[in-house]
Amino acid sequence: MLKYLIPALALVIMGCQNTAPMRSNPAALSGFPVVTSSSNADIKAALQERRAFLNDANLADKLSNVLAFERQALQLLNDQPLKLGAIGTAIIELRPDSLTGHYVLTKFYQHVETDTGVVLHGEKLNHLYARLLQSGDGSQQRPYKITSKNDATVFALLQNKEVVGEIYQTTQTRPLGLLTLSRANPNNPLENNVFDLSDLLEPLSQLNSPSDAGSPWPVLRLFANEEDSAAQASIGTYLAKQRRYNSATGWLELAARNGNMLGHTLLARIYGYLADVAERAKKDNNLTEPLDAPKATPEEFTLLSIKNHQQAIALGSVESMYTLGRLYIESTSNEPPLKRDTNQGIVLMERAGALGNAKAYLFLAYQNASGKLLERDDVKANEYFAAAAQLKNPTAVLSYARFLITYNDLQPHAQLLPLLTELAEQDNAQAMVALGNLNALGIGSKKSSRQAVSWYKKAVRVAQASHHEAADVINEVAWTLTATQNKPLQRSRYAQKIMDALMAKNPQASTHPEYLDTWANTYAANGNFSKAVVLQKQAIASASAQNRKDIIKILNDHLVKFMAGQAIIEQTP
């Protein structure tokens, strides 16, 4: 089965999206009259209809017809509602449990103002929707169970949302799953739902050849024949992973033409990669371009990549906003197709951040703080770090705290300490260290060495209890409590104790030059300079063996200090 796995690239491509909230009343959401609530008997009847359809001996033929009718009905939904009556009736004759069929018939009877039809199909719609909600919660762990991708589209419509991206996925526990990305309007973040169609595989096993036993591919080919963009995106993704770029881009172009955001995003990535390969091949005759790939110049590939990013952005892709924004800011070219445009890059980054992409705000924050790609502006950096942290992204919260420790004259956002405390309450040792640093410097709260040490010691206890012992946390605390210029904060005996324990228990830490340097300094701070010199020589030997030229001078400088009977004291919290 593993050889048939379709990689879940969409989860990476879309970035961090929100899981759609559960809805209990589809009728009210989509403007349908509330007919009745669904009893357990109603839900059970809907479930039995689904099982009957899946057990039908002619399922393969019926499913193909159902998919074609459902797709046609959804295409006619807004422009030709009078045609929905015949098509909807044909759908439910073939598949009585079709959410799509009852949805379009409800719409039809609303249009012709026939209350009995609205009540009949609206009631059935409620029952089918309730069964769907009972089957899961739309997460990767508990996906909703459906029989047709079109029902996932209607599921979004019932919540006044539009599906803008979709792809089939397989895992070891879910042989055939569907991921959908939807949004209520262009100003809202994308929301994802996961559906499970694995129940189709066994009854459709007659589609499989002996070599395809247990494979979802015959079913995906069936879906693809019905212009299913999720199937097209899945096949394209699989082929791209096999480096068969000609075929992959063909399938993804089909998915993109059918309005699938993920088709555009994947194409943008592939064309961007091929542009890089073609550019390197121009400069190095020893490099060759992929054999199974479209032929184009680096500029042509770049233009294709940008166009697909732009089309994905129009459908709400924050990942494409982030990627294209970075490309504009990082470009060194003054010529099309990728001319440096920091203003446009910032606009895209800010838009991505506003839609929940913490990476975008962090990128702008780092660039404003460093002045490398954007003009240095500490105030703007502070604002971007704060905006990223408010998205409750742990990396962003910790990054903001570290930034303020360096730029401690800036006023922190009021939510920083509560957000760090929330992380600390989840046993995040790095958040505890950050809180200690902020207390030591009096950032966001009254300066308190006692409170700072309390947080440092909590961080060490958590680190020591963790599976990997979080050596970096212990090392940072030990260095701070040894090298700090703030005498009330110094705890050199405690620092030596925790470093002794770390080095005794963690063989990898004992070969780490920076950790050996800290360990040596704890002995120097306690007056044992002979031991400090021995350990520092070990640190230098370890750095030399690892070719760590970046730190050898610093280690040698520290050795000179230890040999002169001095511990290292520097500006630390």
pLDDT at 6: 44
DSSP 470-502: THHHHHHHHHHHHHBS-GGG--HHHHHHHHHHH
74 touches 153 (CB < 8 A): yes
User: Distance between CA atoms of 483 and 568, rounded to whole angstroms?
Assistant: 6
266 touches 233 (CB < 8 A): yes
pLDDT at 217: 86
pLDDT tens, position by position, 457-475: 999 999 999 877 789 999 9
Q: Indicate the domain borders of the chain.
A: 21-160, 161-315, 470-573
Low pLDDT (below 50) residues in the chain = 1-29, 33-35
Position 477: which residue type? V
Which residue pairs from 416-421 have beta carbons closer than 8 angstroms and sit at least 24 positions apart in sequence? Answer: 416/386, 416/389, 416/444, 417/444, 417/445, 419/389, 419/390, 419/392
Quickly count helices (H) and strands (E) in the chain: 26, 5
pLDDT at 94: 97
Q: Please, what is the average pLDDT of the chain? A: 91
User: Which of 77, 87, 42, 83 has the alpha carbon at shortest distance from 162?
Assistant: 77
Peptide bond into 337 cis (omega under 30): yes
pLDDT at 31: 53
User: Distance between CA atoms of 358 and 356, rounded to whole angstroms?
Assistant: 6
pLDDT at 467: 74
Position 510: which residue type? S
pLDDT at 289: 66
Measure CA of the first residue to CA of the last residue in the chain; give whole Å.
54
Contacts with 483 (C-beta within 8 Å, 6 or more apart), sequence order: 521, 525, 567, 568, 569, 570, 572
Contacts with 465 (C-beta within 8 Å, 6 or more apart), sequence order: none
The angle subtended at Cα 164 by Cα 159 and Cα 170, nearest 5°, is 95
529 touches 522 (CB < 8 A): no
User: Distance between CA atoms of 502 and 497, rounded to whole angstroms?
Assistant: 9
pLDDT at 35: 41
119 touches 162 (CB < 8 A): no
225 touches 240 (CB < 8 A): no
Burial class (CB in 10 A: 0-12, 13-18, 19+), 380: middle
pLDDT at 24: 41
User: Distance between CA atoms of 520 and 86, rounded to whole angstroms?
Assistant: 83
Say what percent of the chain tops pLDDT 70: 93
Q: Is 255 helix (H, G, I), strand (E, B) or coil?
A: helix
